[in-house]
Structure 1
């Protein structure tokens, strides 16, 4: 099968947990060789050594990055580092190179204003399930992104899971659903596991039972392509155990709690963007 990423080179600016999750998924997918992936940060050589030993990628400090070799630059530092990173890139990259941001609150308009005229930029929102190639990842293009850039970046992100091309205005709600979503399920699993242990199950068994149950439910939705409501109703027999459990969720505002979690995360995403727009001044 033809690999459109053959001979493409990617550089991660930032070496934190999200960068590592994306690197791990990309390496596992075997579409970009480790020697074609650069990882860089400003000061932390120990962290770079750790990633080099773990994934066999190339690691350099930012000042030593071979700019002419890079096709795609992935901004994976903290959002407040965006201004400095864009200024760092501006005088060193060419129009045919693409800047990708995984930074919450950093719009494509902001990136374009901080780079050279007509520079292609793409904003993406993966989650930490990238590490096991099961991320739900959003992608929004800038004003100067060409089809070839979009296809390449979709292919890169598909190494980490499923990719959804959306309008940038939808990034906040996507963040509430998927960017922050894994934490909601971890919290739910934490509570279910705790009850299982309290009622006598071995801790390891309780964890695996809960994880497999959630995995199976998610796989049913994906494989059957039916609405969760229909699947729920199908397994909820009148006066049965499931009906009793669902009733308890409803009586304790379980649905409202889930809705509020998504909406508050989305609202915070929008708030972060406004905060950053007020403090960052693109060059």
Structure 2
């Protein structure tokens, strides 16, 4: 793959773009970006990552892969504005929550299309990404797309309908972890720990727990039991979470996020 163009320059576009640059997936000069009207934003991205601003839509004809990264409500106009300039052989990659492959096919024609849901950890090459592809994606393009997304973290190919759950779980997931970190930090400070000390301990605790799951391959429930001594401090803390219906709250969180993903697809 020689070149990529991003249609949209928001936080998700930047995260993917940054990951591509940082991981050396593609040379920055071969990454193009455009948006509706925010020239200041485009200049900022150019200065930070060394990428190129797409100044003329006719240049899209030379691009191998077009990444749509607009807001869901803007996808119809974005497709109408760019479709006449896209090479018939070019593939499409969407990183837009909720927007179906069918919607993209309706707006861009019968061509290779992949719909993905990375998360903002793509910035540091640690995204957890789900992707689904239409039948027009051949083996060679599948390798390119999986290689591109694999360059910004973990990638799993799934059925398209499962992307709503992926969006709820890992697409939005970093925010849930940050929210947990906020709560732990605030609670620690009420017990006298400084913010800096609390934050470093929290970061290491989260990193350590994740590494234990990955390296030991042990079930999370079993790892939890290893930490939980009878009548000990951990058990006391877990009982407080159970009393607040922690698992039920998490289940509702995923359910609401998945439902919203489906709604966005209808709205687009």
The correspondence for 1:157, drawn from 141, 149, 167, is: 149
Q: Alpha-carbon deviation of 1:60?
A: 2.6
User: C-alpha displacement at 1:64, in angstroms?
Assistant: 4.2
Unaligned runs of 5+ in 2: none
The Cα shift of 1:260 comes to 1.0
Match of 1:30?
A: 24
Which stretches in structure 1 are left out of the alignment for 5+ residues? Answer: 277-283
User: Which residue number corresponds to residue 43 of structure 1?
Assistant: 37
Determine the structure 1 residue equivalent to 2:214.
Answer: 222
User: Residue in 2 aligned with 1:251?
Assistant: 243
Q: Give the count of matched residue pairs.
A: 268
Does 2:121 align with 1:126? no
Are residues 1:59 and 2:53 paired? yes
Q: Give the C-alpha shift of residue 194 in structure 1.
A: 0.3
Please state how far the C-alpha of 1:114 moved relative to its aligned partner. Answer: 1.3
Q: Note the C-alpha offset of 1:83.
A: 0.9
Contact 2:119-2:170 within 8 A present in 1 as well: yes
Normalised TM-score (structure 1): 0.91
Equivalent residue, structure 2, for 1:207: 199
For 2:223 and 2:195, locate their aligned partners in 1 and report how far apart those are by CA, in whole Å: 29
Map Cα deviations across residues 97-137 of structure 1 (whole Å, 9 max, x no partner).
10111111210011111122x31111010111111111101
- Matches of 2:224 and 2:179 in 1, distance apart? 21
TM-score normalised per structure 2: 0.96
Q: Which residue of 1 aligns with 2:104?
A: 111
Is residue 213–residue 220 contact of structure 2 (8 Å, CA) maintained in 1?
yes
When structure 1 is superposed on structure 2, of 219-228 and 130-139 the one drifting more is 219-228
Deviation at 1:275, TM superposition (A): 2.6
Structure-2 separation of matches of 1:91 and 1:222: 46
Of 68, 75, 78, the residue aligned with 2:71 is: 78
Determine whether 1:69 maps to 2:62.
Answer: yes
The CA deviation at 1:65 is 5.2
- How many Å separate the matches in 2 of 1:114 and 1:69? 20
Distance 1:65-1:126 versus aligned 2 partners, 3 A rule: farther
Q: 1:244 to 1:65 in 2, by over 3 A?
A: farther
> What are the superposed Cα offsets for residues 199-230 of structure 1, whole Å, 9 maximum, x if unpaired?
11111111111111111111111111121111
Residue 177 (structure 2) pairs with residue 185 (structure 1):
yes
Partners of 2:77 and 2:220 lie apart in 1 by 44
Indicate whether 1:174 and 2:166 are aligned.
Answer: yes
In 2, Cα distance between the equivalents of 1:60 and 1:151?
26
Is 1:272 aligned with 2:264?
yes
